[in-house]
Structures are given as C-alpha cells and as structure tokens.
Structure 1
C-alpha cells in the first residue's frame, strides 16, 4: 500500500517532525507499506479558480496525481488563527471527490493553544467526510509545549498517542483493501 503523509503547510517545521515520527511508528507496525512524506512547501501552488485542470501548472498536477495514487493518508496541519492553512484547503479543492473515497486517513495537528484541537473536529473531519474517507477516531493534537527548542517531540504521552494512531491507521488500511472505491448500485 502507498501511504501519503501530507505536511499541510508552507511554513514551520513541527508538522513535518510529527509526520516523521508517525512514519517511523507505522513502519514498526507494518514495514511493507510504501510511505512518502510530501511537504506542500515544495510545490508551486495555484489557486483553484475554475479553469480546466490541464491549465494548472505541473506541480498542481503532480500533487493531485499523488493523492489519486495513494491508498491512504496521514494529514498533518498546523492550526493558524483557529483554522487550517489555506494551502491545505486549496489542495483539497483540487481533488476529485473519489480521490480519497474509502481510503484510511489519520489526522495530526499542532497549535499554540490547547483549544485549537477543535479545528480538527469542526473543519478537517467535515472535509474528509465529504470525500468519504475512513477517518480513524484517534487524531493527535500537539501543543508547542510538547516540543523542545529544536522541535523534537519530548512529551511521552504524545509519543504513546502517535504509536496508537499508527497502530489504528494500519488496521484501517488493511480493512480498506477489501472495500470497493465505487458506490454500490442500489436500484
């Protein structure tokens, strides 16, 4: 299975650090997956504005292709001003609704206040529900106090929660192998 770990911002490093740790924990549970971390900061972004898809730049086409080809996702997002970054929402806006259908997704996020964990519930989960993703129930939210001055995760509870997230994600990934990505004909 090809798993895409998405660093959903163009600034900062904490979400990338969290993804590296999740990648390690997934590899401990199942070393047969192909895991790729992508940083949205490595792409030249264009706004979704209704033009035909072929008129967007090669970076946007590559990004959409990576999502289409992936079998599962770990989405990492910082929380800025009580919201997900616009670049992450814009990336979702490029995707066809079937791109993520019935594929497993886990969420990790970080923010400067403890209350911003609700952004996961109020913004990310509804977007992923629209795509009909298999969202794992155990997202992990981190706070700046969980990192040292070099952005290393120093909180043991965060490590335990990331290990559990990886374990549950792998179970969802295995379950998704047997789900058709096409809707059933209910006529």
Structure 2
C-alpha cells in the first residue's frame, strides 16, 4: 500500500521534521506500507487556473500522478498568517475531486501560536471533507517551543501524540483499502 507523506510548504524545515518522525512511527507499526515523502519544494509550481491538466508543466502533472497513485496520505503543513500555505491550496486545486476519495489522511501542522491550530479545523478539514477523505480524528499541532536545536522534537507529549496518530492512521489505511478500490472500479 502506497502512502504519500506530503510536506505542504516550500520553505522552512519544522514541518518536514514532524513528517520524518511520523514516518518512523508508521514504519515501526507496519513495515509493509510503502512510504514516500513528497516535498512541495521539489516541484516547479504553476498557478492553477482551470486549464486542462495536459496544459500544465511536467512537475504539476507528476504531482497529480503521485496523489492519484497513493492509497493514503499524511499531510504536514505550516500555518502562515492564519492559513495553510498557498502552494498547498494550489495543489489541492489541481486535483480531481475523486483523487483522494475514501483514502485515509492524517494531519500534522506547525504554527507560531497555539490559536493557529484552528486552521486545521476551519480550513484543512473542510477541504479534505470535500475530497471525501477518511480523515483520522486525531491531528497533531506543534509550535516552536516543541522543538530544540536542529528542529528536533523535544516535547515528549508531541512524540506520544505522533505515535498515536501513526497508530490510528495505520488502522484507517487498513479500513480504507477496499473503499478506495471500489470507488476507482466504479468510475
């Protein structure tokens, strides 16, 4: 089962550090999952404006193909100015509504203040609901004080919550196997 771990920004490294830790915890729980970290910073992005997919550059088409081929996602995003990064929203705008349907998704986010965790509830979850994803009920939100030198996660509670997120994600991945295949077969 192919799982895409998405670093939803083109700058900074805290979000990627969280994603790397989640990857470790998922691998400890299920070594058979094929985990791939996808960094939006590795792609040449174009503004999504409604044109047909074949009119976008190779990187944008590759991004869509990676999302289509994945059978689950762990989405990591920073919170900037009380919102998800534009590059992440632009990526969602590129995807067909069925791309992520009935596939499991877990969310990790990082922001400068505790209040910005509401962005997950008010912006990100509605987008994922639109895609009809199987969003795990637990997400992990971190702030700067959870990190030490070199962006190493130093807060034990964050580690505990990331382990729990990984555990629930693995169970959702198992549950979603048949649901997502049925959707593909019917369309």
Normalised by the shorter chain, which TM-score bucket? Answer: over 0.9
Structure 1 match to 2:132: 132
Structure 2: runs of 5+ lacking an equivalent: none
- Measure how far apart 1:135 and its partner are: 0.1
- Is 2:106 the counterpart of 1:106? yes
Q: Which runs of 4+ in 1 moved over 6 A?
A: none
TM-score (ref. length: structure 2): 0.96
Measured in 2, the distance between the counterparts of 1:39 and 1:178 equals 28
Describe the superposition over 1:17-36 as per-residue Cα deviations: whole angstroms up to 9, x where unpaired. Answer: 00100000000110000000
In the alignment of these two chains, the number of paired residues is 184
- Measure how far apart 1:177 and its partner are: 1.1
Describe the superposition over 1:64-115 as per-residue Cα deviations: whole angstroms up to 9, x where unpaired. Answer: 0000000000000000000000000000000001100000000000000000
Over aligned residue pairs, what C-alpha RMSD do you find? 1.1
Structure 1 match to 2:50: 50
Describe the superposition over 1:27-76 as per-residue Cα deviations: whole angstroms up to 9, x where unpaired. Answer: 01100000000110000000111222111000000000000000000000
Structure 1 match to 2:27: 27
Structure 1 match to 2:183: 181
Structure 1 match to 2:82: 82
Structure 2 match to 1:66: 66
- Measure how far apart 1:136 and its partner are: 0.1
Measured in 1, the distance between the counterparts of 2:55 and 2:47 equals 12
Measured in 2, the distance between the counterparts of 1:47 and 1:182 equals 28
Measured in 2, the distance between the counterparts of 1:135 and 1:163 equals 16
Measured in 1, the distance between the counterparts of 2:39 and 2:144 equals 20
Measured in 2, the distance between the counterparts of 1:49 and 1:123 equals 20
- Is 2:4 the counterpart of 1:7? no
- Measure how far apart 1:149 and its partner are: 2.5
Describe the superposition over 1:97-152 as per-residue Cα deviations: whole angstroms up to 9, x where unpaired. Answer: 11000000000000000000000000000000000000000000001000013100
